[in-house]
A and B are shown apart, each in its own frame.
Chain A
């Protein structure tokens, strides 16, 4: 691990599913402690990009580095640095929320796993349901538990793929606070979202992905929230008009 290297470096990343091109030549670098929001319409390639960085999908061409180490040649230990929230919860329905977190904590060698599991369940407001089987959870509760799972090993890189989907306003505010705190603690965050306002508020930098290519990459501070909306609509709908 190179301490001077960026947290995430993506070089010439292509991902094809048969003839369909999901990602086309993505070059991207996230510095340590940077919060990047990634926007784009459905099918733009946001989830595929997150999956490639998370080692869940193998690039068709190009490569991804985490802290200066290429994922293709990386040891599994590199995954300790990454926490992922995706469309699937990665939880086991027959186990309780607490048991799920204990399992993942054990897999990541978390010390005092029971205490840590309680701590993250408290962060996402799930203490009162900690000992209920996850299969009895609503979509929103499941998403909160998935966020707790991603945080249980305190990773320094967070990959959040539409984390606000399915959350009620209170839970969304809780997640917003968790992400702000992660940013304050210099965690590197790559978050995809359809919520332009929230994504813009949280981010240092905003990206827009369209048809597998980055069509905008700029600092969030250079845009007001309303301008972000106009920019996005112009980039997405302007291109199709």
Chain B
């Protein structure tokens, strides 16, 4: 079996487990719903305000719900030694990183699709024809979060304070990513589009490539004691 097929096999196993338990999906969607509800009550923004604060609200919901998913998925893998079972398989451990990233990405994109629909429902942002651009920003931002989150979740899950440890590790390093996604999302929501904001897309791309590379190279060492 080729490396890619083995990665697909691991992702298929993870998704099957997740679809049975829905632990990560349920918790992330409900958490995002709560965040959106709180901001909806706090700001009650009109269309104009949404273009100013909407991007921040959306990415706060995405960020914190993604942290829940990262912790949940890695904890599932740690329970009863699942990740060690994978380490015993004839597959390079760098491939395990890619498989874990792919699973997390798919779970987060599913959760973010629901969150985005709820955001539109609650805040009625003037998306216009910017949906494709918004999807691109969300995809690039999520890949960045996934690349960092998979690495840090693998570290944090071995500590007793894993729930606190993951955001402490993740958020400071994700600051450039968060600035870029919020700026790019603001540009889309304000109707300006990404034409004038290419620099944020470039930053997002650079961030994704850099941290996917770092995660790919360091994940085997993180897995071993």
**Contact A107-B84, Cβ < 8 Å, known A57-B224, A92-B13, A94-B21:** no
Instruction: Determine if A9 is an interface residue (Cβ-Cβ < 8 Å).
Output: no
**Number of A residues contacting the other chain (C-beta, 8 Å)?**
34
Q: Is the CB of B224 within 8 A of A58?
A: yes
**Number of B residues contacting the other chain (C-beta, 8 Å)?**
27
Q: Is the CB of A88 within 8 A of B13?
A: no
Instruction: Determine if B1 is an interface residue (Cβ-Cβ < 8 Å).
Output: yes
Q: Contact flags (1/0) for A30-60 with B, using CB distance below 8 Å?
A: 0000000000000000000001001111100
- Main secondary structure, interface of B, reads helix
**Contact A55-B87, Cβ < 8 Å, known A95-B17, A103-B9:** yes
Within the complex, the shortest CB–CB distance from B211 to chain A, in Å, comes to: 24
Q: Is the CB of B88 within 8 A of A89?
A: no
Instruction: Determine if A149 is an interface residue (Cβ-Cβ < 8 Å).
Output: yes
Q: Is the CB of B80 within 8 A of A88?
A: yes
Q: Is the CB of A95 within 8 A of B13?
A: yes
Say which one of A74-82, A118-126, A185-193, A218-226 lies at the interface with B. Answer: A74-82
Q: Is the CB of B89 within 8 A of A104?
A: yes
CB contacts under 8 Å to A, within B3-44, are: 6, 9-10, 13, 16-18, 20-21
Which residue on chain A has the smallest CB distance to residue B220? A58
Bound-complex Cα distance A86 to B85 (A): 10
Within the complex, the shortest CB–CB distance from A177 to chain B, in Å, comes to: 24
Give the chain A neighbours of B81 by CB distance below 8 A: 86-90
Within the complex, the shortest CB–CB distance from A133 to chain B, in Å, comes to: 8
**Chain A interface residues (CB < 8 Å from chain B):** 17, 51, 54-58, 76-80, 82, 84, 86-95, 99, 103-104, 106-109, 133, 142, 149
Known: A88-B81, A95-B16, A104-B85. 5 other contacts (CB 8 A): A56-B84, A82-B88, A91-B82, A107-B91, A109-B90
